Every structure is written in structure tokens, then in C-alpha cells.
């Protein structure tokens, strides 16, 4: 967010944009909970500057604690209930989205697989990672857990333990 306010030539003023960016994040309505994060924590709307608070106080637009119909504890309990419902709904939506894309994969010992190539570019060796193959041929040597497999290269040398997400058939 701060990057959008900075000029490409001079980035030394980044700290002047922290307060407005923090205000924007704290006062924006969160999709999952239907509230601003500040209101969810403190039970009231956030004021960007003290002068706004003072102006509302002079106009008697702010309710005093003893004059409120609903106590602060009751108001916070209502907010908590709304948060719980919103977060449970967001969790269910996330699960549904994840489960439609997730795939259960298992490999057998001795099976041919392709592992992701994590080698970085090295000018001294004359190696450019962008030009290298994305996946390298390997054989499953052993199973280390639900999603971890010990691999070896085609000559039988161990190459390490890899997660299922980094393997292809």
C-alpha cells in the first residue's frame, strides 16, 4: 500500500504514509466479518484524528457510557457473535474452494517422478536458472510421512526429501 504513494525517484518519504495506510487497513470493512477490524476490537468507530473526536464531543454526537441503552459489554458480545458467524462462514467458503482444487496424491517406492528444480542461478558456474528445466527426473527412494518422499536421481544418489506439492508424475 505504501509503495503506491511513493515516487520511483525518491523513496525516502515512506514513513509519512504509514499512518494513512494503517488507518485505511483498520477502518476498511472486512469481507469475512462484515465489520472494520478496529470496531471489532474496540467496539466503536475509529477516528482518524483527535480533532474529529473533539468536534463530535462538542456536538454531543458521542454517547457517554452511562447514557447508552446497551452497555459496552453487551455491545462487545454482539460484535463477538457476529465475528464468530462471519469467520465460520469464511472458513466454510475457504474449505469448499480448497477442496475443489486439492488432490490426494501418493507415490510408491521405486516410482518415477519429476521433482521441482530449486537450483539458483550462478554466474561463476555459468548456470542460469531461467534456462534450466523446471522439473528433474527422480525415483522415490522412501516415504517419510503423509506428504514427504525421499528421492534419488537416476544414478541412485540421494537428492533429498521433497513435499508432494513439489512432485509431478
**Three-class SS of residue 43?**
coil
Sheet with 167-168, edge to edge strand ranges: 158-163, 148-152, 135-143, 112-116, 167-168
Residues 113/168, Cβ–Cβ less than 8 Å: yes
Strands (E) across 100-155 are located at 112-116, 135-143, 148-152
Quote the pTM value. Answer: 0.49
Q: Counting beta carbons within 10 angstroms of the beta carbon of residue 7, is it exposed (0 to 12), middle (13 to 18) or buried (19 or more)?
A: exposed
Report the candidate in 102, 105, 136 with the shortest Cα–Cα distance to residue 118: 136
Q: How many other C-beta atoms lie within 10 A of the C-beta of residue 126? A: 7
Domain boundaries, the chain: 2-101, 112-168
Cα separation, 76 vs 103, in Å, equals 41
The residues with which 81 forms a beta bridge, in sequence order, are none
The residues with which 40 forms a beta bridge, in sequence order, are none
pLDDT tens for the chain, residues 1 to 169: 888 777 767 778 888 888 888 889 999 999 888 889 998 888 888 887 778 878 877 887 766 554 456 688 888 999 999 999 999 999 999 998 888 877 788 899 999 999 999 999 988 988 888 888 899 999 999 999 889 999 999 899 999 999 999 999 9
Residue with C-alpha cell 548456470?
Answer: 127
The string of pLDDT tens digits covering residues 58-74 is 887 766 554 456 688 88
> CA of 85: how far to CAs of 25, 32, 80, 88, in Å?
22, 9, 9, 5
Q: Which architecture characterizes domain 112-168 according to CATH?
A: Roll (2.30)
Q: Counting beta carbons within 10 angstroms of the beta carbon of residue 11, is it exposed (0 to 12), middle (13 to 18) or buried (19 or more)?
A: exposed
Amino acid at each position: 500500500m505504501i509503495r503506491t504513494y511513493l515516487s520511483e525517484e525518491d523513496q525516502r518519504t515512506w514513513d509519512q504514509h504509514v499512518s494513512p495506510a494503517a488507518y485505511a487497513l483498520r477502518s476498511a470493512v472486512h469481507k469475512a466479518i462484515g465489520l472494520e477490524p478496529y470496531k471489532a476490537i474496540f467496539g466503536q468507530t475509529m477516528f482518524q484524528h483527535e480533532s474529529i473526536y473533539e468536534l463530535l464531543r462538542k456536538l454531543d454526537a458521542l454517547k457517554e457510557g452511562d447514557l447508552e441503552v446497551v452497555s459496552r459489554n453487551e455491545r462487545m458480545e454482539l460484535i463477538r457473535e457476529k465475528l464468530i458467524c462471519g469467520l465460520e462462514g469464511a472458513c466454510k467458503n475457504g474449505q469448499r474452494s480448497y477442496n475443489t482444487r486439492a488432490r490426494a496424491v501418493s507415490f510408491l517406492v521405486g516410482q518415477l517422478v519429476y521433482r521441482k528444480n530449486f537450483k539458483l542461478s550462478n554466474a561463476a558456474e555459468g548456470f542460469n536458472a531461467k534456462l534450466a528445466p523446471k522439473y528433474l527426473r527422480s525415483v522415490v527412494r522412501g516415504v517419510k510421512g503423509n506428504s514427504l518422499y525421499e528421492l534419488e536421481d537416476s544414478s541412485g544418489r540421494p537428492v533429498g526429501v521433497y513435499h508432494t506439492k513439489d512432485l509431478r508424475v
